[in-house]
Amino acid sequence: MKFNFLNRQKIITPQYLNDLINAYNLKSNLENILIFKKVFNEIKNIPNYNIPCNPIEDYQTLYQKIKRNQLELLKTYLQVLENYNFQYSNSLFCALRILLHTKQDNNNFTNHNPLSYPGLYAYKKNGNAFHLYTKLGEIKVIKANEYFKNTQGEKIFKRTLYRRCYERTWEFAQKFKESKVILQACPRIFTGQFHHAFIEFEGCILDLSCNCLYPDPKDAYKILSGYPIKTFSYEELQEYINNLKKTIPNIMDYNPLWQIGAYEDLYKKK
């Protein structure tokens, strides 16, 4: 990630890193909104386009409406999305959050249909396991809260998971010290990245924010694509934080994982 919203500071504080990531996110969100406006303008100018709701503000809403009202335009719409570098991994990430969410996160979703996201064609459920048929190939996932039931990690999954990747990843790493923490820059829907945190555990990938356990890491990285920021064993993470305290003395006032992501991927690259 490269941008120049904020001047580089010699004295780094958690607030500065928070401002840094917020500035980047604002810029990236605006860029993606502008790209979708271009997509929407192309679609609505097709002669037989006849969706009554205008304007439509996001790709997923338009996808739903075309599937429901003008299915013959669906192939054209997907082609236009792809012409603008549409990232199916991001769309499938959103679909998984809906498919696997826990009851604690019910209120975070007004849409409860994962098939309303481009790239997810179908899925089969077998107990707590799901076999997904997607644009990126077949993917197998397990509901993580069920997998970790009756373990020392069970309580983590009884809290809000949605948009809590840093908090829940940090909590999991404290309880399962044999796990590895992965900080990743994942693609947004058209351009830019968002910082994400997840776990490598017993040969699997665990994305707590989606309540998703990937038995095969190859499947995980179809969704969690992008580029790695940092990977830590628990011991490496503790050593890194202790060293970083020399630069950011009050790093532990906040969850350290998001600060590490901002420091490594934004501050040091400015």
In a domain, 31, yes or no: no
Q: Is residue 122 part of a domain?
A: no
Which pLDDT does position 114 carry in this prediction? 95
Total of domains in the chain: 1
Asked, for residue 214, whether it belongs to a domain, the answer is yes
Does residue 20 lie within any of the structural domains?
no
Is residue 229 one of the residues assigned to a domain? yes
Name the pTM for this structure: 0.93
Domain that holds residue 245: 142-267
Contact between 118 and 136 (Cβ < 8 Å): no
pLDDT in tens, 157-203: 999 999 999 999 999 999 999 999 999 999 999 999 999 999 999 99
Residue 156 domain-assigned (yes or no)? yes
5 within a domain of the structure (yes/no):
no
- 18-53 pLDDT, tens digit per residue, is 899 999 999 999 999 999 999 999 999 998 898 876
Residue 1 has pLDDT above 70, yes or no: no
Whether 251 is in a domain gets the answer yes
Rounded Cα–Cα distance for residues 197 and 170 (Å): 9
User: What is the CA 255 to chain-centroid distance, rounded?
Assistant: 18
